[in-house]
Structure 1
Amino acid sequence: MSTPVTLTFLGGAGTVTGSKFLLTGGDRRVLVDAGLFQGLKRLRLRNRAPFAVDPALLDDVLLTHAHADHTAYLPALVKHGMSAPVHATRPTLELADIVLRDAAHLQMLATGDAIRGGYSKHADPRPLYDLDDVEATLPLMRPRPFDDDVDLGAGVTARWTRAGHILGSASVHVTVGDTTVLFSGDLGRSTHPMLRPRQTPPAARTVLVESTYGSRLHIEPEGPAHEVLAEAVSTTIRGGGQVIIPAFAIDRTEAVLHALADMMAEGRIPVTPVVVDSPMSLRVLDVYRSHPDEMVEPTGSEWLQRIPDLRLTPSTAESKALNDDHRPMIIVSSSGMCEGGRVLHHLARALPHRRNCVVLTGYQAAGTRGRSLAEGSRRIKLFGRYTPVAARVVSDGEFSVHADADDLIAWLADLPAEPETVYIVHGEQRSSQALQERIEQELGWTAVVPTMDEVVRVD
């Protein structure tokens, strides 16, 4: 392709949310990831701003994985005219079906709560999109295999390589004419407790690498795994309290339940009721079970059966009934950053009381309630009111399946050839800059931290 090929950073630049990267060459427009902005209000407002190009002009959308910050903007694009096919691995599309429906449901629920509570600043509050927009999006999905070049037409090909982050996650290698660009997506650690490990993708002239943990290293425990969780559960349950575990529905809930089953079997925590109050998590678990070929070992329900008193609450009535149950128990509920879903009701009930405990199990983005709790806030806003935080709050970082700084450097170093430029994305500014310094010093490569809406040539 003789015309310039450009890359525009429409999200995931200076932030860990809203990942969207637009490749433009001639009259071809390929969007890689379509994430929703979460957290800080200035970022969330971008969800409702006009898109950089007319969505009807997009030719293809390529997804790295199913998390909302990489997929949940899709129905908004379709609502405004996009009809382009959406390509991803089959597990990613199966999970995205769940994620998009949940995102629409949460927006509609939050809008209704704001109207009834009278705390919206908008005269006519409306969700970004609704379930009808999701239904219009799903027929655009096109499953793609790992490790095969897929011809998208007009000189554009794409290839998905396992990234080891969540089920179906991949790095995406895109060729536009003579130009090659590699998008890391979210990378997993060198090993994952359930999934097949990440693999090395083809070389590319331009590489985009995530930097969620670009300034951090995972600390391997010297003693038993998840000791923070074990101590928090034991102390709280024996003290008559409840343990609330906000957990992402995809991958994290499954890992938390696996750990709780192990600890009960080993006698590290008391045998106590465990409630999974997240219909989304239950649907995700079914998807994981349906792809045993992607697992280190098949994941059936055997380990779930090792939790003597496991309760699943798919219905709203069952969830509401928990409000009147003050017995010691563990409640696992989404969302992982405390930004929506049933966990908000559990937090509103549990946080004001010292006997209870909240265990955070993953990265908490700036501007989220989870970040506020992690940083020791004594009050958070729930349903238009400020709720005091008297409960104990702890973080168990061992659940993270994000590559740390060493993992990211190793992934780059394993590439078959040195790229011309590495762009460091999907990270807060400090993390991205720390990774930039390491790439320049240790690999001797040109590394750049792009700004939001920046346009660069990649041809």
Structure 2
Amino acid sequence: MEEESSTVSLRFLGAAGTVTGSRFLLEREGREKCRVLLDCGLFQGLKALRQRNWEPPPFDPVTLDAVVLSHAHLDHSGYLPLLARGGFRGPVHCTPGTADLLGPLLLDSAHLQEEDAERANRHGYSKHQPALPLYTVEDARRALTLVRTHPYGTPFTAGEGLEVTFRRAGHILGSATVDVAWGQGDAARHLVFSGDLGRPGRPILRDPEPVPGADVLLLESTYGDRVHAAWPEEHLARIITRTVHQGGAVVIPVFAVGRAQELLWTLHRLRDEQRLPRVSVFLDSPMAQDVTELYCRHPEDHDVDMRRLTFQARCPLCASERHWVRTAEASRALLSRTDARVILAGSGMATGGRVLHHLKHLLPDARNTVVLAGYQAAGTRGRALQDGAARLRIHGEDVPVRARVETVDGLSAHADREELLAWLRTFPRPPRETWLVHGEPGASEALAATLRERMGWHVRVARDGERVTLE
């Protein structure tokens, strides 16, 4: 019988006890052997986590049969260039939307790392001589040649005896839940990985899709201990209006994928409904601009409102009032402006990118406002601002924080506790095992308790490095 001829195991090599570094190694031994990596993410945030990116992986990349990506965010895909440099030459399976996003994301990540290393060497503020990038643009290009795409709902083979199906996760463009099946007939088993599950009723993207069921579930738990605030249109309108009236600038660190597009949509709607004063909106992120164009090219991900407005040639992502800052020279010129303005710039947790120049310039002035639009991981500049830091270290300098710092809740693209539960209630039966991943310990433990008490499910919180047998 199939169960007697093979054993399937899973190793948690990231995103266990933390929200970053998504890597889960699925191994099948016996008559049909294969090794497939679910996600291939970078660790972000605290220095101890980031240092893990520099360590050799706990597996030989050459021995992998395939990588399957849930979506393109760097904490799920950003380790691919290192994997390719280490000798991996198998396919990287993902949806068409994810494939399109991987290009700008991986190339930009590599470029920023090369740029940061060059700056550290030039100014001498690195402890390493010379400072080196984690990976190069050439490494990223090598990884991109391995990408293979599959539409939602169409099964494909990822390794010997493993069949995978993507379904919409509603988190960002191309994001998917990953359904891995092995065995035949009554012996067939399904592992479902939620990836990062999105939220119902959000602009632009379709809602997360139900899955037919799972024997084993890997469930994200980033916000498993809380319920999000309502969509923050009014809060944003108040912040921007107040700052404009006092002659200041609003700077919003944004993720190029997802957050930038939702904010463009929201700001356009506020202006369209005359709930904002006249103010220029600048998108100072070439990658976010490229990604915004990609969002418009994938109608398979669009919700009803986005399809309707696009059909009417009124797409809020292509609105005429936005100003795209493309070149480095134009970005520097933006620093010299003294008029009221709204600046969206990467990165979302202020870990790098052009937003650092804007923060360095604007933080010392009390007329300005920094809007933190979403989760800020421990160890990032965004978290430091959120926690009330009086000074912020930027490019080797201590910058005084006199600007107002506002956190806008409700913009998260992650499902909260109740939204996770609503998705889980669509399962026809409880999974035999549910493992919680992608969460800090408090959030994961809280969600585990909720699932046991309210749904009676067998739930465990994944431990980093743990290996479990699924058969």
TM-score w.r.t. structure 2 length? 0.94
| 1:200 aligns to 2:223 (yes or no) | no
Runs of at least 5 residues in structure 1 that lack an aligned partner in the other structure: none
- CA shift at 1:307, angstroms? 5.6
- Deviations 1:114-171, CA, capped at 9 Å, x for gaps: 1112111112211111110111111110001111221234211101011111111110
Alpha-carbon distance between aligned partners in 2 of 1:305 and 1:264, rounded to the nearest angstrom: 14
| 1:24 aligns to 2:24 (yes or no) | no
| 1:281 aligns to 2:284 (yes or no) | no
- CA shift at 1:326, angstroms? 2.2
| 1:185 aligns to 2:191 (yes or no) | no
The code of the aligned residue for 1:194 comes to: I
| Farther-moved stretch of structure 1 (18-27 vs 175-184) | 175-184
The code of the aligned residue for 1:203 comes to: G
| 1:14 aligns to 2:17 (yes or no) | yes
| Farther-moved stretch of structure 1 (290-299 vs 210-219) | 290-299
1:262 aligned to which of 263, 269, 285: 269
Counterparts of 1:44-55 in structure 2, within 5 Å, are 44-55=50-61
Identical residues among aligned pairs (%): 44
The code of the aligned residue for 2:250 comes to: V
- Deviations 1:302-352, CA, capped at 9 Å, x for gaps: 4356564x3211111111111212221111111111111101110111111
Q: Which residue of structure 2 lines up, in the alignment, with residue 352 of structure 1?
A: 364
SS in 1 for 2:119: helix
Q: Is the 8 A contact 1:313 1:319 kept in 2?
A: yes
- Deviations 1:13-50, CA, capped at 9 Å, x for gaps: 11111111000112411000011111000100110111
Q: Which residue of structure 2 lines up, in the alignment, with residue 218 of structure 1?
A: 228
- CA shift at 1:266, angstroms? 2.4
Q: Is the 8 A contact 2:46 2:378 kept in 1?
A: yes
Alpha-carbon distance between aligned partners in 2 of 1:25 and 1:245, rounded to the nearest angstrom: 45
2:440 aligned to which of 418, 428, 444: 428
Alpha-carbon distance between aligned partners in 2 of 1:202 and 1:66, rounded to the nearest angstrom: 24
SS in 2 for 1:399: coil
Alpha-carbon distance between aligned partners in 2 of 1:301 and 1:283, rounded to the nearest angstrom: 19
SS in 1 for 2:393: strand
Runs of at least 5 residues in structure 2 that lack an aligned partner in the other structure: none
Q: Which residue of structure 2 lines up, in the alignment, with residue 409 of structure 1?
A: 421
SS in 1 for 2:6: coil
Q: Is the 8 A contact 2:93 2:158 kept in 1?
A: no
- CA shift at 1:91, angstroms? 0.5
- CA shift at 1:71, angstroms? 0.5
Counterparts of 1:8-407 in structure 2, within 5 Å, are 8-26=11-29, 27-177=33-183, 178-220=188-230, 225-296=232-303, 297-298=306-307, 299=310, 302-303=315-316, 308=321, 310-407=322-419
The code of the aligned residue for 1:13 comes to: A
SS in 2 for 1:64: coil
Alpha-carbon distance between aligned partners in 1 of 2:127 and 2:359, rounded to the nearest angstrom: 24
Q: Is the 8 A contact 1:21 1:32 kept in 2?
A: yes
- CA shift at 1:73, angstroms? 0.6
The code of the aligned residue for 2:262 comes to: A
Alpha-carbon distance between aligned partners in 1 of 2:425 and 2:384, rounded to the nearest angstrom: 36
- Deviations 1:34-83, CA, capped at 9 Å, x for gaps: 11111000100110111011111110100001111100110011011111
SS in 1 for 2:166: strand
Q: Is the 8 A contact 2:34 2:159 kept in 1?
A: no
SS in 2 for 1:397: coil
Aligned in 2, Cα 1:304/1:453: closer, same or farther, shift over 3 Å?
A: closer
Aligned in 2, Cα 1:307/1:372: closer, same or farther, shift over 3 Å?
A: farther
Q: Which residue of structure 2 lines up, in the alignment, with residue 5 of structure 1?
A: 8
Q: Is the 8 A contact 1:228 1:394 kept in 2?
A: no
Q: Is the 8 A contact 1:250 1:284 kept in 2?
A: yes
Alpha-carbon distance between aligned partners in 2 of 1:448 and 1:114, rounded to the nearest angstrom: 43
The code of the aligned residue for 1:16 comes to: V
Alpha-carbon distance between aligned partners in 2 of 1:176 and 1:450, rounded to the nearest angstrom: 22
Alpha-carbon distance between aligned partners in 2 of 1:192 and 1:357, rounded to the nearest angstrom: 26
Alpha-carbon distance between aligned partners in 1 of 2:469 and 2:318, rounded to the nearest angstrom: 54
Alpha-carbon distance between aligned partners in 2 of 1:307 and 1:280, rounded to the nearest angstrom: 19
Q: Is the 8 A contact 1:7 1:23 kept in 2?
A: yes
SS in 1 for 2:276: coil
Alpha-carbon distance between aligned partners in 2 of 1:266 and 1:32, rounded to the nearest angstrom: 43
SS in 2 for 1:4: strand
The code of the aligned residue for 1:303 comes to: P
- CA shift at 1:258, angstroms? 1.5
Q: Is the 8 A contact 2:451 2:459 kept in 1?
A: yes
Q: Is the 8 A contact 1:179 1:458 kept in 2?
A: no
Q: Is the 8 A contact 2:237 2:275 kept in 1?
A: yes
Alpha-carbon distance between aligned partners in 1 of 2:349 and 2:92, rounded to the nearest angstrom: 27
SS in 2 for 1:398: coil
How many positions carry a matched residue from both structures?
Answer: 455
